[in-house]
Structure 1
């Protein structure tokens, strides 16, 4: 009887995350979660720096960034059981700071109110399955292209943030731009050289099939960066610190201007960008990990979108901009993450970061760039399943793929991919392949373009 009991024993982790069913182990999931965190830890520094341009307290923003990531990622892990991490999004934070506050002259309190309302609307749309219906309505060719497009996008992030690729444009004479949009950086020293060394080290580890290669590559590259002067050790080697107080930005809402036409437009843009950034990440990473079901849908999409909505609503209360699903989750999936335990592990790292911020902040972008470049390679594989002989499939796929990195936006790639898909199908006599939800979605895309202009 005792042997029978021990044989039938199911651990709490197995019950919660169904590790065996998903072909993974607790160790692999935890390593994957740490890898995801390492590739997105930059947000703990970048988000406060961007939002503080509005006059918001920098220290409080660090705490709000970490706490919003923790809560949203825990919801993703426990409720959706998916390996995605969430945090305040790049793009929405810049729109918040430089367009709404500094450009349109609204207070940061008013901007936070718009983000809060966005979160509430997302909760409602998720409850009524509207967002899930949009995800499921995306054609398979665009879903496959999303993975490849996101792969190029995150590889570009790594190359650009490390300085391997840099802006090639420059001003001359009367201010006209000359040169090329992008160029190779100064790769003979500093951050670019360290990133190139990191790519070689990580690539070698991958070739040798070393478990945890992405994470090990990040750590080795960080250490090599110390004598190179790229990795900056904390002053006095002080790694432990208490999180700054939230009080300067906590629950700071201002509803006085909320019904103005300008802010309704801002709310629409926030809704649009966040929805399709999240959709793109969910679909693209799931396609690469073979997690899409037989109909090409993301498993537990509603639960995943709920985590995103909770994160945005709670993040606004704390005092930060829109919380979204992070494309860097692809790094954890590439490391073997398949369940919510990966997300939970990432959340655990954010908790540590609250008290060990100097340690995590010291990891340079040059050390995480190799992981992003290698993951970009992994994400390209679904491109093989796209039918390039059918131009009504190939052109939308191609536009989706190339416009994500070229416009620095996942959502813009989806916009042009979907519009071209619907137009080409309708005018080539294949209107049966266009669903009513596709038509409605494309109409919203067109409205979004007109509103922004």
Structure 2
């Protein structure tokens, strides 16, 4: 106990081992939905679901423990929501890249993130991107993953006349998803701890019961309870470099998209939690940010190497902070629990279907969309760039397209308003990259 107290500075941060362990458990329960959702999303990219589950659990364990040891932050990590949708539905789906090439891009984005974390580039990037655009992109991703949830569950389907329309509400799987959404909404509104995870559990249990009565398409208990430790995607990123760089412009866009979403998602989470536990100094700077960003970037490299999309800091860590978590011991506890979750993988893999994960996607989307409250809507420059960012992500079914269109709209609006000199040079560089990207004959 004395060693733990000394290493994690428990007394200095006004906490103790019992509180930190409870906080770690709370954070794990708030994040545990990713164990079901991430394999489902990356499975749509053609990846082996059990293999993705293993990579998701191990990368979350590794990243969370590394964060605790390196930065002493109560922040847990796992494969990020939104960026996994970018991986599966934009890079692999719309652009037609293989999942191996997408993993190669994630790996490279992680390496670049490592360089950014240990150099002054970190501050340059943070200062160059307008806060309004960061908020717009975060909110847009929220709308996007909610749309994915509606689509995957069959609530929203393709329609020749109107492009999209309502699904078949007599389909039992659709009804199960709707029930799950309503239950999860109720739990979130009532502020039930780990509401998203609890909603998934309730939906799965109802589905299993319905399946036992002979209703088709329902979640089920596993017929084989043996553990599957296969990781066929480990190291597969190496074979994706050739395909990734077959079109250099596409490669730049893909790597930038992964890097952008990861970097600012992580920075936003760290600042939010840092504010809550007193790690932001009088100058507005986050103490120990370099170590925290380094832990996050290394976790992304590790995750790509073993076969999952970008690993990032989870804002759900605030749930653990809310019950008293103040140090890295909270994050390490969460990491250990993610490692232990491997031993319940049979039930998770058989009971987690699209109908079960849809409520999580939709409700997490709502939470991400709350960032719109920070938009200065009375300023037409920000209103236009935000609207273009969000609507483009949904209607082009592409997060990277949304980011690109948002930057273009912002730069052109600033130019039209006679404020070109206030635009950071980095934004103009990105504008050129985006224009060239859309001009390429390989345009998506």
TM over 0.5: yes
Structure 2: unaligned runs, 5 residues or longer? 212-217
1:211–1:300: structure 2 CA closer, same or farther, 3 Å change rule?
Answer: same
Structure 2 equivalent of residue 417 of structure 1? 406
Match of 1:243 in 2: 229
Contact 2:59 2:78 in 1 (8 A): no
Partner of 1:85: 78
Tell me, what secondary structure is at the counterpart of 1:41?
A: helix
User: Are residue 199 (structure 1) and residue 199 (structure 2) matched?
Assistant: no
Q: Between 415-424 and 43-52, report the one with greater CA deviation.
A: 43-52
| Structure 1 residues 266-313: Cα deviation after superposition (integer angstroms, max 9, x where no partner) | 642442121123145336667988969799988866555534532343
Other-structure match for 2:260: 276
The alignment partner of 2:227 has SS state of coil
Corresponding residue for 2:214? none
CA distance in 2, matches of 1:253, 1:213: 35
Contact 1:83 1:333 in 2 (8 A): no
Residues 155-166 of structure 1 aligned to structure 2 (within 5 Å): 155-166=146-157
Answering whether residue 310 of structure 2 is matched by residue 323 of structure 1, we say yes
Q: Is the 8 A contact 1:312 1:324 kept in 2?
A: yes
CA–CA distance in structure 1, aligned partners of residues 12 and 203 of structure 2? 32
Change in CA separation of 1:291 and 1:225 when aligned onto 2, cut-off 3 Å = farther
**CA contact 1:332–1:342 (8 Å) conserved in 2:** no
2:348 is aligned with 1:360:
yes
Two-structure CA RMSD over aligned residues (Å)? 4.3
Pair 1:217–1:43, CA change in 2 (3 A): closer
Decide whether the 8 Å contact of 1:119 with 1:310 is kept in 2: yes
Taking the aligned partners of 1:385 and 1:149, their CA distance within structure 2 comes to 13
Unaligned runs of 5+ in 1: 1-5, 103-107, 170-177
Q: Secondary structure at the match of 2:139?
A: helix
Q: What residue in structure 2 maps to residue 376 of structure 1? A: 365
Query: Where does residue 374 of structure 2 map in the other structure?
Result: 385
Q: TM-score, normalised by structure 2?
A: 0.75
2:104–2:244: 8 Å Cα contact kept in structure 1? no
Provide the rounded CA distance (Å) in 2 between the counterparts of 1:323 and 1:127: 19
Q: 1:221 aligns with which of 183, 187, 203?
A: 203
Matched position secondary structure for 1:262? coil
Q: How many residues align?
A: 418
Aligned to 2:387: 398
- Taking the aligned partners of 1:145 and 1:399, their CA distance within structure 2 comes to 9
Which string of whole-angstrom CA distances, capped at 9 and with x for unpartnered residues, describes residues 141-192 of structure 1? 22332343233223223322222222x14xxxxxxxx322222222233222
Shift of 1:396: 0.8
Residues of 1 paired with 2:165 and 2:271: CA distance? 31
Q: Among residues 415, 428, 431, which one is paired with 1:439 in the alignment?
A: 428
